Structures are given as C-alpha cells and as structure tokens.
Amino acid sequence: MHSELVEVITQPINCWPKPQQQPGQRPQQKSQQRPQQKPQQKPQQQPQARLQTELALTRSESHHGTQCKPESQQQHTSRRKLISVLKPTSLDRYSMLRIGLAPHSPFGVSQELMVASAKLARQHSGVRLHTHMAENQQGNDFLRTTFGLTPGDYIKKVGWDRDDVWLAHCCHLDGAEIKQWAHHGIGVAHCPSSNMRLASGICPVRDLLDAGVNVGIGVDGTASNDTGHVLMELRMAMLLQRASGNPKGMSAREALLVGTQGGAKNLGRDDVGRIAPGMAADFVAWRTDGISFAGAQHDLVAALLFCTPGLAPVDLSVINGEVIVKDGRLTTCDLREVIQEHNRRSLALCSHITQQGGDEQLV
C-alpha cells in the first residue's frame, strides 16, 4: 500500500472534546470511574500510535484462498507490549478503553495466528477475541477444502470455543453449531445490512436466541455498509427474521435488547447497555413531539424501529457524562469542516483505487 494512501486512511479526524475542558463540566465522581489518561510527553509513545503500528504489523495482504505467514516473534512481542501499555486503564469498570484481539478471518490469517491470539488473550484479564465466521457459503467451503473442517470444528481446533469470543456474521451455521455456540457461550454480532448488500445470507438470529446464544448488532465496515447506523441495523434485523414467514420472528423490543444488552455482553461489559443506577452515563434521546412519532404515542419504544424516527440524527447524546449532541447538533467540533475533510480524503482514496484499476462503480 502506497504511503500517501496510508496517510489518507490512518490520520484521525478528531471530533472529541478538547483536552483543556473545564473540570466542572463532569460530575466529580466521573473522574474516578473513568480516569483521564496522563498527558504523554513524547507523541511517538502514545498508545494510539502504538496501536496503529500494531495494526500495520498484523494487516493481511491475502485474499480468499491465500494463507498468510505465521506471526513473527517481533510481532508477537510488540502485541504483548501494546497490551501491557493499555491494560491498566482498560480494567476500570467505566473505562472507555477495552482491548481485544481480532484476527480478520480463517481465510485471512493463518491457523497459527488464531491459536497464538487465543493464548495471548487469556494471559490477560478482560482481553476478548473476535473474528469473522460463516459469513457466506464461500467461507465455509474454504474451511472444508483447505482444512477439512466445518466452522464448528475450526473454532474448536484453534481454541476459540469459549465465552470470551464473539463472532461476526454467522449466517451459515447448522443446528449442531448453534448448540455449540450456546454451550460454550460464544456470542454473535449480527450485521444485517452488510449481509444483504453482499448477498451473504441471513443470520438465523431467531434460532440463535432460542438456543441461548447471545446476539449483538454490528454495522460491519464501510466496505459493505456505508451507513454505520445501529438503529437502522436493528430495524433490518427485526424485519429479516420475519421475512422467512414468521411474523413473530423478532419483536421491536427484542431487537432493541439485541442492540443494547446483547452488544454489551458480547464486549464483556456490565456497565453499559441499560439506563439504571450504577451504569455508565452513556445514552441517547429523541424528541417525541415530531412527525416521526405522530400516531405512535401509545408505544414509543416500538415506534423507534417501526416509524424510523431513529434514522434521523439524535436530539441528545451523552457519552461518559459529556453532552456530545444537543438539540440535534454536534457540540464538539465544526461538523462542516469535518465533512469537507472527510470528502477530501474519500475522493483521494477513490481516485487511488481507480488509478490502480479498481472497480469504478464501487457499489
């Protein structure tokens, strides 16, 4: 990957509150629950920079059917150092930082890396594991032709059959694998829009929930979902489970539980996912006196998904006790400048892809 393209992709667009905020803007106990990171004297030693380095070390250059080289000792040592740097803050109950190891997929990394990731994660409390699994039939065929294994067999062989694992997609699981997931406490991140866009299949969420598998919601990435909107995904998840002919395939309230408590459990968190005493001050809100809620005052919860008011920007968003969106407006930066910069980088990326002979249509 060319250096100029890497710069376009990796340089952050910061839309978070500036560090010189007045202390009085937070509740006093918040600083104990989610302590501020100490100022870094040397920019090159910031954990974020190390994280970018780590991502570069582990990025796969392979495609379907090509195995990557096993992780080098240098990469393994670097990964250990990264965890040791970030771990103290991540163990806080209300920390906004969590650590997970996420090799991309069985067709994107070697079996050795999958095994090593599991061993490394379990040497550190709270470090979880994530990968893509059974997203489409081609992925399952790859496992059978390359390793002679089913998704369930593969998960067991590489040591990922534990409750510190959550897997994206899981559209193509058989009944035995659903029971295996439930027995071992393996979670699933359902990504309905991505699955539909790529014609991957439909995740059997109803069967997973009935079997006792924890299901959360995902938006996948921008390569397969240009709208990272969680409520849109919940609406799609609800409707997809009904599309097979079962009008009770998923209710609005079940979908909202998947998107809140289900996601929190997948991430191993007990401090988010509900609005209750002792939970983190992270929540969003919508006005209910607008046209989107008109005629739905008898069940405002269901209206969030059926009447789609949630597809518009939220009226209020509070993160870590900070008001980030107020009256529908972002409070932490000039959104127009962010959009302009985003468009500049996007055009540069698309131009590069086109020059390299990529698909001009990109959709």
Q: What is the pLDDT of residues 262-279, one digit of tens each?
A: 999 999 999 999 999 999
The predicted structure's pLDDT at residue 312: 76
Task: Decide if pLDDT at 57 tops 90.
Answer: no
**pLDDT exceeds cutoff 60 at 65:** no
353 pLDDT tier (thresholds 50, 70, 90): confident
pLDDT value at 5 more than 90: no
pTM: 0.77
For the chain, percent of residues with pLDDT exceeding 90: 62
Least confident of 120-124, 235-239, 309-313: 309-313
Q: How far is CA 167 from CA 60, 133, 181, 200, in A?
A: 18, 6, 10, 15
The CA angle 117-118-121, to the nearest 5 degrees, is: 80
What's the CA gap between 75 and 193, in Å, rounded? 34
- Residue 201, class by beta-carbon neighbours within 10 Å (0-12 exposed, 13-18 middle, 19+ buried)? middle
DSSP-based three-state secondary structure for 239: helix
Q: How far apart are CA 217 and CA 33, in angstroms?
A: 26
Per-residue model confidence as pLDDT tens digits over 152-205: 999 999 999 999 999 999 999 999 999 999 999 999 999 999 999 999 999 999
Average pLDDT over residues 3-32: 40
CA distance 177 to 152: 6
Look at residue 297 in the predicted model and tell me its pLDDT. Answer: 95
Angle between helices 111-121 and 73-90 (to 10 degrees): 30
Task: Identify the H or E element spanning 215.
Answer: strand 215-217
* Cα separations in angstroms, 322 against 17, 48, 159, 356: 9, 22, 40, 43
In order of 67, 101, 108, 117, 154, the CA distances from 158 in angstroms are: 15, 14, 14, 9, 6
pLDDT greater than 60 at residue 224: yes
- Residue 265 to residue 128: CA distance in whole angstroms: 11
What pLDDT does 308 receive? 81
